Amino acid sequence: MLVKETPRLIISSSEIEDGETMKITCTLPIDYGGGVCRLFRENSKRVFRETKESGFLCVFLLSSRELLGRRPVGSRVYFTCDYHLQEYTSVQSNVRGVTVWGSSPSPGLSLSRRFLSPEDSVEVTCSSPLGPVASCHFFRGQIHVAHGACSRNLTSQQLAVWEKPALLLPVNLTCRYYPHPKLQIRSEPSNHNVLFVLDVSQVSTSMDCNVSVDIDQLAGFGERSWTSVGADGQTVTVQVSNRILTTNNTCDPIHTALTPTGQ
């Protein structure tokens, strides 16, 4: 048989979430007409699904449960296809894999502090409702910043990755946990927590800053005020308020009245 007569297996996505449906297409080099395409799972010689050819291709629509069979959610499953007409059976197609992702309940994220200088670190804890889990992942917005232990220290440098130097960098931190080391299962995202990296070296004069956060974040800021002192004696003081009441985030120079000498 010529290589050109080999069917080709195409999948709509290499991974789906549990509960979703995906399309698997077996394309044929020749419109044989009247035969069937057969789909095989893993290394089994038993036909998993079959459907009639329709103009050079066969389409299979399968739910995540059908894809997995008896395999647990979080598994990666591999498929091939062939074409069968009367006494003729083609060689098998290429192999393609599909990962069926699972999800778990959201963790809780807690922080040891809400203000950091560029040399500081913050202790973060991602608490799973399932108890001990394989690993945790931490995110600033959509950016992955760390993974591994679920209770760890994150440095300001990790939190500011890909960001340009700034006087005041807000960080919206979330986490996920992965309960099994060998299955592709991840939790829903945690609650988000806002913190700020304050870099006094970015200014040459003392500043007063006002920032606002959602009301559900206010309790985490304690006294809602923090002052940092630079190497040249300049200070930056940040006041935190409710976003509903304050809409602008501003930093203004502190103007000191000078008293003329001799008076």
Q: DSSP secondary structure string, 200-218?
A: GGG-SS-EEEEEEE-GGGG
Residue with the bigger pLDDT between 211 and 100: it is: 100
Structure confidence at residue 66 (pLDDT): 96
What is the rounded radius of gyration, in angstroms, for the C-alpha atoms of the chain? Answer: 29
Structure tokens belonging to residue 196: 């700020």
| Domains of the chain by start residue, with CATH | 3-102 (2.60.40.10), 105-253 (2.60.40.10)
Partners of 110 in the beta sheet? 125
Mean pLDDT for 48-67 is 92
- Which class for 262: exposed (0-12), middle (13-18), buried (19 or more C-beta within 10 A)? exposed
The residues, ordered by sequence, that sit 6+ positions from 171 with a Cβ below 8 Å of its Cβ are 140, 159, 160, 194, 195, 196, 197
| pLDDT at res. 199 | 94
Distance from C-alpha of 183 to C-alpha of 102, rounded to nearest angstrom: 9
Q: How far apart are CA 62 and CA 99, in angstroms?
A: 13
Query: For 204-247, how does the pLDDT look when each residue is reduced to its tens digit (9 = 90+)?
Result: 999 999 999 999 999 898 888 999 999 889 999 999 988 877 65
Give tens-digit pLDDT for 5-25: 789 999 999 999 999 999 999
